Structure 1
């Protein structure tokens, strides 16, 4: 099953990192992708430019509205994503726990649903909820 791992962190805090710290984090992310790819779990992904480069598009009553910036102001900003292949949500959580920026913010794991011509539901096929854990990374 496909899972989208959305990486969030506070851009203001990350801007305070030195070039050496950024380079080290980026090397960790590259190694993480290499490991996920080797094990057959990585489908695609990408880091994103800062929210200052974002544009939000809305269509209401056939009228397009474009605004600068992200959809909502939040403490943590979407920094990138990983599309993962995992047997279930628990396996996806284990994979997401190894994404290096999780140390600085959070990684939201969400099952992806297949879009079909008929029979789609807003909620899709919801995955079983997982109990909250504060355990060690396996």
Structure 2
């Protein structure tokens, strides 16, 4: 099964972290990510730029509107993600626990839907 880990960060908590500690944590994350990738558990990962660089598109009643920033006002923002392979939600949570970012926000772990089965169900061509 595939799972997406969505890493949400509280910028206030992250800003309080000394730069050398942040760098140490990031090095550790890269080392863990490399090990998970080599073991076939990590399929992809990426950090996201600051929310101030985002644009949000909404279409309502045929009219599109683009606004700066994320969709909703929130203290935490989406900072990155990992696409992982695991046998169960519990195994995916164990992988998520290996990364330190829940101390500075939260890590949401969500199963990835099988798009091929949805494609088949709705009759979309392959």
- TM-score, normalised on structure 1? 0.79
Q: Is 1:32–1:100's contact at 8 Å kept on the other side of the alignment?
A: no
Write the deviation string for residues 1-39 of structure 1: whole angstroms up to 9, x where unpaired: 000001112012212333212211211111121121122
Q: What is the TM-score when the length of structure 2 is the normalising length?
A: 0.86
Instruction: Write 1 or 2 for the structure with the bigger share of helix.
Output: 2
Alignment partner, residue 93 of structure 2: 93
Match of residue 3 from structure 2:
3
Please report how far the alpha carbon of residue 75 of structure 1 lies from its aligned counterpart in structure 2 after TM superposition: 2.2
Q: Mind listing any 5+ residue stretches in structure 1 that lack a counterpart?
A: 121-138
Structure 1 equivalent of residue 40 of structure 2: 40
Contact map agreement 1:9 1:101 (CA 8 A) in 2: yes
Query: What does 1:100-115 align with in structure 2 at a 5 Å threshold?
Result: 100-115=100-115
The answer as to whether partners of 1:55 and 1:68 remain within 8 angstroms in 2 is: yes
Matches within 5 A, 1:1-138: 1-115=1-115, 116-119=118-121
Q: Cα offset for 1:76?
A: 1.5
Contact 1:11 1:50 in 2 (8 A): no
The answer to whether the 8 Å contact 1:96/1:107 transfers is: yes
Across the aligned residues of Structure 1 and Structure 2, the Cα RMSD in angstroms comes to 1.5
Task: Give, in whole Å, the separation in 2 of the partners of 1:107 and 1:13.
Answer: 15
Cα separation, 2, equivalents of 1:15 and 1:52: 16
Query: Which structure has the higher relative contact order (CA within 8 Å, separation 6+)?
Result: 2
